[in-house]
């Protein structure tokens, strides 16, 4: 009898869960695409998005209060950078409990509320999973450091030094100086690729793997649609601890330049990704990877040989390109588009200066912000936006060392000012503190908030925000932009980047003038099967190009954008 009840319960549970799972995994179009391939993702740095309790730091209820804004903008999924309990040494990337919310951001109930508000709007939530390391305040590490025989000792990487005061090898932390910290309690060193307060987990230990996989299950059951996996390439270290090769020169921390040969990108990373993906697949979830590489063959590997690793390894090259260059973008796009997986172009995030300053020339910055949106929101692939980029937020770097919050800015000053500049409060309106909070915000807002803010830009049809709205609306309903093949055009042009997105009988032509001079361009789309020599403007920054226009001669204004439908 008892077992019959159990079976009945399991059947009911399966019936209840199945439609939800199927709905998540069901392809959304005839090409078999999944929801995340057509989704627009939006990265939220929770400290800086919206402060509901006016203590100067953003929170989950703040995010919930802005979901309508995001929906109206055209965002389908939000990725929240770590909001778990944390001593905040690395502003959340030092997690002390993976299954809770930091009181600074709210409670688990607030998270559930945010989740249900998102669901109501048909939006998804992704969390940031820091899998390489924990905080030194995590209970696993507290136990690990307590004794050489502790239950969690082998959950981290502990080694003897080479002698008194000499670490086990020459590996350096990416945040400066030795990657080993001596712990007098047990007379051994522990390894940390990032800050000393972020000890690396020992992924060779199956118990670590099990515990970390269970965390993902716990959140999937709470409704999250996937994770952005932090720092995936540093999960494993050479067990023999071989010294890394030293290169010429010194880095920004004054340490010798070094090739991270034995503590980065070890092949075992791919085994973990495959296993994490299996769990994700059971829940119809998506895995986005923080995959820093400028080597396309390496990027390819992250998709997995049988598409069984990350669905969305991020192409972060654009995030690091500082200058507008049609040939350079053309080369990079072709490489990623041809890598065999679904491209994930990233132009900005919380670790790199904002795209507004990276590409801006000081004279045409707003126009250039539209140009960059015109580029990455029309490419094949999933788009990941960074909060505030849609209103043209600029960097606000600290001017004095004593104002720096990000520890790498303290260690590396003045060469490295840290990442505060790209993490400032979202600019909601032109009232005090840009409407982010009544209290003094944890980072100062830049003066540009007076003109670059959501409220003002929503009223201005020519604003950067209005441009994003138009583009995102187009992207959501245009088949060629969603699914069309990418075909580079006029490949010798040094100034104008142009391409076609071809889909059956439809195509969209995208023309982007990456120069400060007006340019005349001409297109012959006959060889592509589109003999009609006319374009029908869909979105453009130049009113003269509105309506129907010949493609024999397209006059592009400096940094102008022309996006047009072409037909057979
Ligand atoms: C990733 C995060 C970065 C963090 C680091 C350590 O690179 O994006 O912000 O400092 O990992 O967790």
- What confidence tens digit (pLDDT) does each residue in 149-180 have? 999 999 999 999 999 999 999 999 999 999 99
Quick check: bond before 536 cis, omega within 30? no
Residue nearest to atom 4 of ligand 1 (CA): 93
> How far, in Å, is the centroid of ligand 1 from the Cα of 231?
7
Q: Is 194 in the pocket of ligand 1 (CB under 6 A)?
A: yes
The whole-angstrom separation of Cα 106 and Cα 306 is 40
**Ligand 1: which of 130, 231, 422 to mutate, judged by most atoms within 8 Å of the beta carbon?**
231
Annotate 405-414 with b (16+ C-beta within 10 A) or e (fewer).
bbbbbebbbe
The string of DSSP codes covering 480-531 is HHHHPEEEEESTT-SSEEEEEEEETTEEEEEEEE-SSS-EEE----GGGT--
User: How far is it, in rounded angstroms, from Cα 170 to Cα 505?
Assistant: 59
Q: Determine the pLDDT at residue 18.
A: 41
Tokens 């692939």 -> residue: 381
Which of ligand 1's atoms lies nearest the C-alpha of 419?
9
Any idea which of 43-47, 78-82, 203-207, 529-533 has the lowest mean pLDDT? 529-533
Mean pLDDT, residues 220-235: 98
- Name the residue of 98, 351, 418 to mutate for ligand 1: max ligand atoms within 8 A of Cβ: 351
| Closest residue by CA, ligand 1 atom 12 | 93
Query: Nearest-CA neighbor of 264 among 243, 286, 287, 235?
Result: 235
Q: How confident is the model at residue 22 (pLDDT cuts 50, 70, 90)?
A: very low
Q: What pLDDT shows up at residue 293?
A: 87
Give me 477's structure tokens. 């309903």
To test the pocket of ligand 1, the residue of 92, 194, 348 to mutate (highest count of ligand atoms within 8 Å of its CB) is 194
Handedness of CA 53, 59, 63, 66 (dihedral sign): positive
Q: How confident is the model at residue 423 (pLDDT cuts 50, 70, 90)?
A: very high
CA distance 360 to 344: 23
Pair 125, 77: CB distance under 8 Å: yes
Q: What is residue 13's predicted lDDT score, i.e. its pLDDT?
A: 47
- Whether 229 is in the pocket of ligand 1, judged by its Cβ within 6 Å, is no
Q: Is the CB of 131 under 6 A from ligand 1?
A: no
Which residues touch 45 (CB under 8 Å, ≥6 apart)? 58, 81, 350, 387, 423
Q: How many CA atoms lie within 13 A of 15 on its CB side?
A: 6
Contact 369, 464 (CB under 8 A): yes
pLDDT at position 14 over 70: no
Check residue 7 and give its pLDDT.
52
Whether the pLDDT of residue 424 is over 70: the answer is: yes
| Distance separating alpha carbons of residues 465 and 413, to the nearest angstrom | 34
In angstroms, rounded to a whole number, what is the distance separating the alpha carbons of residues 389 and 403?
24
How many angstroms separate the CA atoms of 394 and 354, rounded? 6
**Most confident stretch, 47-51, 293-297, 530-534:** 47-51
CA–CA separation, 275 and 52 (whole Å):
38
Q: Is the beta carbon of 230 within 6 A of some atom in ligand 1? A: yes
Local confidence band at 407 (pLDDT 50, 70, 90 cut-offs):
very high
Does pLDDT of 3 surpass 80? Answer: no
DSSP of 192-213: -SS-TTSPBB-TTSHHHHHHHH
Summarize the confidence of residues 488-492 as an average pLDDT. Answer: 97
Per-residue confidence (pLDDT) for residue 509, from 0 to 100: 98
Residue 190 is encoded by which pair of tokens?
């522990």
In this predicted structure, the answer to whether residue 1 has a pLDDT above a threshold of 50 is no
Using the predicted structure, report yes or no on whether residue 544 has a pLDDT greater than 60: yes
Tell me the per-residue pLDDT of 48-64, one tens digit each, with 9 for 90 and over.
Answer: 999 999 999 999 999 99
**pLDDT at position 11:** 46
71 alpha carbon to ligand 1 midpoint, in Å? 27
The answer, yes or no, to whether residue 24 has pLDDT greater than 50, is no
392: left (phi over 0), alpha (psi -120 to 50) or beta: left
Give tens-digit pLDDT for 173-187: 999 999 999 999 999
Span from the CA of 51 to the centroid of ligand 1 (angstroms): 23
Which residue CA neighbors atom 7 of ligand 1 most closely? Answer: 231
- Residue 480 pLDDT exceeds 50: yes
- Residue 249: helix, strand or coil by DSSP? strand
**Residue 109, burial from CB neighbour count under 10 angstroms (0-12, 13-18, 19+):** exposed
Share of the chain above pLDDT 90, in %: 89
pLDDT for 152: 98
In this prediction, residue 2 carries a pLDDT of: 54
Mean pLDDT of the chain: 94
Phi, psi angle pair for 393, to nearest 5°: -70, 140
Q: Is the pLDDT of residue 233 over 90?
A: yes
Q: Is pLDDT of 362 > 60?
A: yes
Structure tokens at 480: 């060629």
Q: So which residues are the catalytic ones?
A: 230, 282
Ligand 1 mean position, distance from CA 84 (Å) = 14
E-assigned strand segments in 177-332: 180-183, 188-191, 226-230, 246-250, 256-258, 286-289, 312-313
* Per-residue model confidence (pLDDT) at position 4: 56
Q: For residue 155, how far is its CA from the centre of ligand 1 (angstroms)?
A: 21
Residue 9 pLDDT exceeds 60: no
Distance 130 CA to ligand 1 centre (A): 8
Rounded distance between C-alpha atoms, residue 302 and residue 309, angstroms? 6
Q: What is the pLDDT of residue 28?
A: 67
Ligand 1 atom closest to the Cα of residue 408 is 10
Over residues 340-346, mean pLDDT = 92
CA 561 to chain centre: 25
Share of the chain above pLDDT 70, in %: 95
Report the nearest atom of ligand 1 relative to the CA of 130.
12
**In the predicted structure, residue 15 carries a pLDDT above the cut 60:** no
Q: Please report which confidence band the pLDDT of residue 5 belongs to, taking 50, 70 and 90 as the band edges.
A: low
Does the pLDDT at position 8 exceed 90?
no
Contacting residues for 562 by C-beta, under 8 A, at least 6 apart: 509, 510, 511, 512, 535, 537, 540, 541, 542, 545, 554, 556
């Amino acid at each position: 009898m008892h077992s019959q009840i159990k079976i009945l319960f399991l059947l009911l549970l399966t019936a209840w869960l199945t439609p939800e799972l199927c709905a998540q995994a069901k392809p959304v179009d005839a090409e078999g695409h999944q929801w995340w391939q057509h989704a627009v993702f939006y990265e939220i740095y929770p400290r800086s998005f919206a402060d509901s309790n006016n203590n100067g730091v953003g929170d989950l209820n703040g995010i919930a209060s802005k979901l309508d804004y995001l929906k109206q903008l055209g965002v389908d999924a939000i990725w929240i950078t770590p909001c778990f309990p944390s001593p905040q040494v690395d502003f959340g990337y030092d997690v002390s409990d993976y299954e809770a919310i930091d009181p600074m951001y709210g409670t688990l109930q607030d998270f559930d509320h945010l989740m249900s508000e998102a669901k109501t709007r048909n939006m998804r939530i992704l969390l940031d999973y820091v899998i390489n390391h924990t905080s030194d305040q995590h209970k696993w590490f507290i136990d690990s450091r307590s004794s050489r025989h502790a239950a969690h000792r082998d959950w981290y990487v502990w080694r003897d030094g080479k002698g008194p005061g000499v670490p086990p090898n020459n590996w350096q932390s990416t945040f400066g100086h030795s990657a080993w910290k001596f712990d007098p309690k047990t007379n051994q060193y522990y390894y940390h690729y990032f800050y000393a307060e972020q000890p690396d987990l020992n992924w060779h230990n199956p118990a670590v793997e099990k515990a970390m996989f269970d965390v993902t299950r716990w959140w999937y059951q709470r409704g999250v649609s996937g994770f952005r996996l932090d720092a995936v390439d540093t999960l494993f270290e050479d067990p023999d601890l071989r010294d890394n090769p030293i290169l010429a020169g010194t880095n920004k921390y004054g340490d010798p330049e070094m090739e991270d040969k034995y503590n980065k990108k070890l092949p075992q990373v791919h085994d973990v990704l495959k296993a994490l993906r299996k769990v994700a697949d059971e829940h119809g979830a998506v895995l986005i990877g923080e995959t820093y590489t400028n080597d396309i063959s390496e990027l390819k590997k992250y998709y997995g040989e049988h598409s069984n690793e990350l669905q969305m390894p991020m192409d972060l090259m654009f995030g690091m390109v500082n200058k507008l260059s049609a040939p350079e973008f053309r080369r990079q796009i072709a490489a990623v588009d041809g890598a065999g997986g679904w491209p994930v172009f990233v132009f900005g995030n919380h670790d790199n200066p904002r795209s507004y300053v990276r590409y801006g020339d000081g004279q045409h910055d707003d126009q250039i912000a539209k140009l960059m949106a015109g580029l990455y929101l029309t490419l094949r692939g999933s788009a990941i936006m960074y909060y505030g980029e849609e209103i043209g937020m600029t960097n606000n770097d600290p001017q004095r060392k004593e104002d720096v919050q990000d520890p790498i800015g303290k260690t590396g000053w003045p060469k490295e000012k840290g990442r505060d500049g790209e993490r400032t409060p979202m600019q909601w309106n032109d009232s005090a503190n840009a409407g982010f909070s009544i209290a003094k915000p944890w980072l100062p807002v830049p003066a540009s908030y007076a003109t670059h803010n959501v409220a003002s830009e929503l009223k201005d049809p020519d604003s950067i925000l209005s441009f994003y709205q138009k583009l995102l609306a187009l992207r959501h309903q245009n088949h060629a932009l969603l699914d069309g093949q990418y075909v580079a055009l006029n490949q010798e042009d040094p100034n104008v980047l142009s391409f076609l997105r071809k889909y059956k009988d439809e195509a969209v032509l995208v023309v982007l003038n990456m120069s400060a001079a007006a340019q005349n361009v001409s297109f012959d789309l006959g060889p592509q099967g589109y003999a009609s020599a006319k374009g029908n403007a869909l979105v453009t920054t130049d009113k003269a190009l509105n309506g129907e226009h010949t493609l024999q001669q397209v006059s592009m204004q400096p940094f102008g954008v022309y996006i047009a439908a072409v037909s057979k």
